[in-house]
Chains A and B, each alone.
Chain A
């Protein structure tokens, strides 16, 4: 299965959330790989703590591969052996493969979608689908040629299942923008339909993920004044109404990730050790990733709206 991760704006936590989902999915015993298609700023290497490709690879990365620059196969990084983080460097018993395909250091966005580039993209998806249970593709933020390319590629791979995750923060602007990215002019649905997808079928394959969510009843808010808490509660109610008006509401939401200080200060994988031993991460955050990692392949969570 192919999963495309996209967000309306930058800074939504798309990359850190999608990498954590992939990591949890591997821990659940599946073979997974992560494709850094955010060619403008390939940072997945840093999140997986693989120093050698922290800002993309200097070898043949995805960017070179897609543009046909002398790379029959893009560079692969086995996270379980190449991560600099000791806790990640041993594959836990029962875990599946965890492979990163980094972008190029200094690659830059795709200038256009050429037929040859598209053909290579289709070939890559097809080969990876043969090998991995889950292929997560970080498509970067907003409308881009990269998003158009993967929309076209999936038209050419009718029997390979795919799904889209749209990441957004829980604020007024982000809710409106996330809806716009999907249903707005030249959004995912418009572009997808133009390339040959069925609009309704495509709609059913898109779900929203809320990031950095602060629940009004969260433990962190105990110290707040009553006035502040009442204000937060009112805001949250308003956002819920806004979200459901924009069809970004609960029914089309796959999950939400609570606000966690560790993710605000450093984009990284949250391991069980971070939760249980060093206690720098919240258990709710790890649980939310774990839950999402199950839901992305659970058909019940993806039934028609």
Chain B
């Protein structure tokens, strides 16, 4: 019927980036299952999928009381040894019967929540974009916990190079005529409404995680530039404040790196408008230009005032 998910993205709480081997150890949340790692074009490590059992109210724009039971699929990942994500999603399907089934039934369908009773797909999808009710399905809380598990690993030194808020990206995918809409809500909240042709595949979740990752990078870079107050503070001070961006963020931009070819058109459309890569590039240029200007000023100062 539809799939809903939420991805939380944050800065790994470590002074520097961590090597691939440490990524593996940190993500070993479930013993016995392997952490998957890909190395090109950027090191990406992802934990085994874990299931959370849920039996609760589902979101509804019309405030109807819809009950669902089943499991949510979640995972944690680390990109470039620097950015951490907690991601959860579940497929919402109509139940074959009106009665609540034993857990064995739901466990046989990992990542599926069955709706008990009548439901409209549109009502669910519209409701999901809003904050979940207190007793409702809260994928964000599950994703946040998967992010916490990584951040509290004893293998990390917790001396992150700068403070930055996590962002959350809530997404809904439905079948139909291909379309995507990305919306910025508050400082940390984003939603994606995606329509895909054919059956849902986990590649859609990968796409949303990739979008969340790049949106976080863009947000973090904007925050760092704002804090530097270019023009409002003396050059050397601004340069010092921009340095963390160069040390930790600028090399991480790899849009669509892990996105299935079938879905890359979605990224391309977002790159045309609103134009993620365009904004990123202009910010990167700004940071580098600032550093260049500062270097020139510094050199001029050292050579005793230059054109005297």
Residues of A within 8 A of B (CB): 29, 31, 60, 70-73, 93-94, 96, 123, 126-127, 129-133, 159-160
**Majority-rule SS of B interface residues:** loop
**Majority-rule SS of A interface residues:** loop
**Chain B residues near A130 (CB-CB < 8 A):** 10-11, 13, 151, 160, 163-166
Does B233 interact with chain A (Cβ within 8 Å)?
A: yes
* Interface window among B46-54, B132-140, B200-208, B257-265: B132-140
A60-B134, A159-B158 given; 17 more Cβ-contact pairs under 8 Å: A29-B227, A71-B134, A72-B138, A94-B229, A94-B233, A96-B227, A123-B148, A129-B158, A130-B10, A130-B11, A130-B160, A130-B164, A131-B165, A132-B163, A133-B163, A159-B157, A160-B158
**A60-B134, A70-B134 known; A131 and B163 CB under 8 Å?**
yes
**A29-B227, A31-B163, A131-B163 known; A126 and B148 CB under 8 Å?**
yes
**A130-B151, A130-B166 known; A93 and B135 CB under 8 Å?**
no
Does B221 interact with chain A (Cβ within 8 Å)?
A: no
Does B61 interact with chain A (Cβ within 8 Å)?
A: no
**Chain A residues near B164 (CB-CB < 8 A):** 130-131
Give 7 pairs: A residue, B residue, CB < 8 Å, sorted on A. A72-B141, A130-B11, A130-B164, A132-B163, A159-B158, A159-B159, A160-B158
Closest to A131 in B: B165
Does B144 interact with chain A (Cβ within 8 Å)?
A: yes
**Chain A residues near B152 (CB-CB < 8 A):** 126
**Chain B residues near A96 (CB-CB < 8 A):** 227
Closest to B138 in A: A72
**Chain A residues near B13 (CB-CB < 8 A):** 130
Say whether A72 contacts B166, CB under 8 Å: no
**Chain A residues near B134 (CB-CB < 8 A):** 60, 70-71
**A130-B166, A133-B163 known; A72 and B158 CB under 8 Å?**
no
Does B304 interact with chain A (Cβ within 8 Å)?
A: no
Does B232 interact with chain A (Cβ within 8 Å)?
A: yes
Say whether B140 contacts A72, CB under 8 Å: yes
Inter-chain CA distance A131–B13, complex, in Å, is 10
Closest to B186 in A: A78
Min C-beta distance of A160 to chain B, whole Å: 6
**Chain B residues near A127 (CB-CB < 8 A):** 144, 148, 166
Inter-chain CA distance A18–B164, complex, in Å, is 23
